[in-house]
């Protein structure tokens, strides 16, 4: 590789981060909506020394509340006191962290909708002279999003253009660039 080639190859990094809590998908029994929104509210119920903890979510259509089980009949001494305080304080960050737990989602038979609840942080580098841009994409937390959408936002082109670049081989990766993913990956764009 000549110096000139090195100079025309640029490395950059994107960060996918949450801007809010994702929507929770479940059919409402009272209205036609299938989306609930959590606001970081918890309910803690104590029965002697055993605690139940739920994360509450409201139907976006009618406001009906559902409870997602966080802890079930757990001895109070088995819970870290600072975590217990965060449940009582209705800690939004804790709610976000719990919603990132696939086990909790599975146990409650819900899936998440991250549309509009994430953003992309990109460094301000001048890429106009670069012939090849190597980008590593990091997820601040587990945010499954469609990769064509992510690339279209990041590259500021349409999703159809992303698909064309992949088909042409101009946009390449060792990672599959279709479907949803929440794992760190990198790709190269040749211009």
Where along the sequence are the contacts to Zn ion (CB under 5 A)? 28, 30-31, 33, 59, 61-62, 64
- Shortest distance (Å) from residue 65 CB to Zn ion: 10
- Shortest distance (Å) from residue 21 CB to Zn ion: 18
- Pick between residue 59 and residue 150 the one whose CB is nearest to Zn ion: 59
- Pick between residue 37 and residue 175 the one whose CB is nearest to Zn ion: 37
- Pick between residue 28 and residue 153 the one whose CB is nearest to Zn ion: 28
Max distance between CA atoms of the chain, in angstroms, equals 73
Q: Which of 98, 112, 104, 120 is nearest to 180 (CA)?
A: 112
φ, ψ at 179 (rounded to 5°): 70, -170
- Shortest distance (Å) from residue 92 CB to Zn ion: 22
How far is Cα 127 from Cα 138, in angstroms, rounded to an integer?
19
How far is Cα 8 from Cα 12, in angstroms, rounded to an integer?
13
């Amino acid at each position: 590789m000549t110096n000139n080639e090195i100079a025309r190859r640029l490395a950059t990094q994107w960060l996918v981060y949450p801007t809010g809590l994702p929507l929770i998908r479940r059919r409402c029994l009272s209205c036609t909506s299938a989306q609930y929104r959590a606001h970081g509210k918890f309910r803690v119920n104590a029965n002697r020394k055993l605690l139940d903890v739920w994360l509450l979510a409201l139907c976006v259509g009618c406001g009906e509340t559902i409870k997602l089980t966080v802890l079930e009949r757990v001895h109070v001494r088995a819970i870290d006191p600072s975590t217990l305080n965060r449940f009582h304080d209705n800690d939004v960050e804790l709610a976000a962290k719990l919603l990132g737990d696939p086990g909790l989602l599975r146990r409650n038979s819900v899936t998440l909708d991250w549309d509009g609840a994430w953003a992309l942080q990109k460094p301000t580098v001048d890429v106009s002279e670069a012939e090849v841009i190597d980008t590593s994409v990091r997820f601040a937390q587990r945010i499954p999003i469609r990769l064509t959408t992510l690339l279209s936002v990041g590259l500021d082109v349409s999703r159809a253009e992303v698909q064309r670049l992949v088909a042409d081989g101009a946009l390449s990766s060792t990672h599959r660039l279709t479907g949803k993913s929440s794992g760190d990956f990198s790709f190269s764009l040749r211009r």
